[in-house]
Structure 1
């Protein structure tokens, strides 16, 4: 069994128990509410099986599950793509009404589907070809297509022999795409995240090049995109040294959180929505998950943007707390070591300036000093959950119960935990079994 994800308000959870079968469970009260077999009934191409009758009871032993599912809050609308049926089927996205148990429409794309995100206004589909298709969800009308590779080439048009490089890079991209076949959970691929509100702020990773090596690429930039009005808003450069492996956007689209393929640091940035944007001063929070590298699977904000959940292949799920009223323009207090460094950076002219100017200079130098010193004392989690390292989990923050957190695992268990009032371990309240 594989636990895929929770819907946006954590009222439902999707799991798969067979290669082409998925089940949706209500979280509270816990219980099965929908089953679907994603294959056709027979080889003649008749209608899909939507009545929950599994055609094959065998369980997949694959490391990677090729079924992609995205629910629309607590509505009956579900988007499904099944890559387990081969390349041709992996290009097809089904929009299913779970109450009527019928397929509303099918959309066929030029390449296989890697990820789907949606809210009440927009649906965004990421393909293996590094393209993002944006749809108006009310009528399933295509709005625009974003080509990450083309955008990268355009932004590096001054590179010598660009035409030849494009050909070589295109071949390399095709080879990478073939290698990524059936790797929905691969960490080396673009990432997309969409805000849950109607504003529809889309954040996606973009390719960046080393100036000294234009033929090498990293996915460590972020584009902030207005999917509602179909236009780019802001650009975040080099948010990590390595590739971005995890990405999440807050409910209102104002914050984006990221983690690299190393998985030791979690960062939170302003997207620039509803504020004057300064890309050089966009970092708001920085947390240390741990000292050892970890493959992170999920980052998630709660509805009120007060917490971030972090799930990886370690034996601990971390929950970080965000300050409710943090002034991002105010530098934190200096510790004694930083005060000493600051004094060393002051010259005799500092004594001649006014008291107010001295404070401003101190504020400026403190920021510069902090940027130049590797921070070994980053904030840690305020809550954690000890889990089995061999099991893969997904996490949800229920809007209805803000003091709780839901955890579903590939071991077939659905756990409800209560968050501690002071930093510490979450307390297990209830366990249910997926069946």
Structure 2
């Protein structure tokens, strides 16, 4: 694995300017009305769920949730497929991974993109495809099929590696509380989740389900975890500190 931080740009976002304030849509970035409809490759919310980003076959789009509107778009000239796009709140820093039939970047690289400068300011390279990326103001979390890497955002220094069971969907969640990183990912067994409490340097394993974990969600402070399995019959809510089961909700969930 190779790390290639930019030598002339600190990738740590401090000011967090709004997209619509620092990223006016250039005329050349707007697709002609007669162009074919783009293919959607990826969609993800930002950390406070006020915006979401869509990766398409020739770039990416940023949307505001309420009121709903497109606030920015970036189209790449040659190819340009973006298979993963992860926002950092509403600032100009994003993590991009190539995807689709004609990817903009290799699918085994995470590109740290500064849209204010319209260029990449750092990259992380791996031996296999990147499944997902999670961002905090101080950390970059990269998820591969069976391994997770945690980096310091300021200098792209590798801080931690985690091995997981096969994780093709790139399941991973991180808290957004200042100074208290909690990371949740699949464990090494079917139905198990692993909780990393970095502030207290503790690891907690929770046997959440008998079946394969297909999705989970972590509260902003990292204290509560909701999980669901491939059976799709119930959602369980756990305390991440002691792993105790707090509630079960029976429901019908359809997973594609």
Measured after TM superposition, the shift of residue 30 of structure 1 is 4.1
**Is residue 135 of structure 1 aligned with residue 177 of structure 2?**
no
Aligned length: 214
2:239 to 266, 270, 274: 270
**Is residue 257 of structure 1 aligned with residue 229 of structure 2?**
no
Q: Which runs of 5+ in 1 are unaligned?
A: 37-51, 58-64, 150-172, 174-186, 209-217, 296-312, 314-435
Name the structure 1 match of 2:54: 15
Name the structure 2 match of 1:195: 175
- The list of structure 1 runs, each at least 4 consecutive aligned residues, that deviate by more than 6 angstroms after superposition, is none
Structure (1 or 2) with the greater helix fraction: 1
1:72 to 88, 96, 101: 88
- Looking at structure 2, the residues matched to 294 and 32 of structure 1 have their Cα atoms a distance apart, in angstroms, of 29
In the TM superposition, what whole-angstrom CA distance separates every residue of 1:26-48 from its partner, at most 9, and x where no partner exists? 33454433333xxxxxxxxxxxx
The answer to whether the 8 A contact 1:80-1:95 is kept is: yes
The TM-score normalised by the length of structure 2 is 0.74
In the TM superposition, what whole-angstrom CA distance separates every residue of 1:267-298 from its partner, at most 9, and x where no partner exists? 100001xxxx2x4xx011111222xx621xxx
Measured after TM superposition, the shift of residue 11 of structure 1 is 2.5
In the TM superposition, what whole-angstrom CA distance separates every residue of 1:180-235 from its partner, at most 9, and x where no partner exists? xxxxxxx8656211112131100111122xxxxxxxxx2x1111103467x44312
Larger RCO, structures 1/2 (Cα 8 Å, 6+ apart):
2
In the TM superposition, what whole-angstrom CA distance separates every residue of 1:114-150 from its partner, at most 9, and x where no partner exists? 011121122211112x11100111222211211236x
Distance 1:78 1:267, change over 3 A: same
Larger Rg: 1
In the TM superposition, what whole-angstrom CA distance separates every residue of 1:359-399 from its partner, at most 9, and x where no partner exists? xxxxxxxxxxxxxxxxxxxxxxxxxxxxxxxxxxxxxxxxx
- Looking at structure 1, the residues matched to 254 and 67 of structure 2 have their Cα atoms a distance apart, in angstroms, of 34
Q: Which runs of 5+ in 2 are unaligned?
A: 1-38
The TM-score normalised by the length of structure 1 is 0.45
Name the structure 2 match of 1:294: 254
Q: Name the Cα RMSD after superposition.
A: 2.6
Name the structure 1 match of 2:97: 81
Structure (1 or 2) with the greater strand fraction: 2
- Looking at structure 2, the residues matched to 190 and 67 of structure 1 have their Cα atoms a distance apart, in angstroms, of 12
- Looking at structure 1, the residues matched to 170 and 132 of structure 2 have their Cα atoms a distance apart, in angstroms, of 10
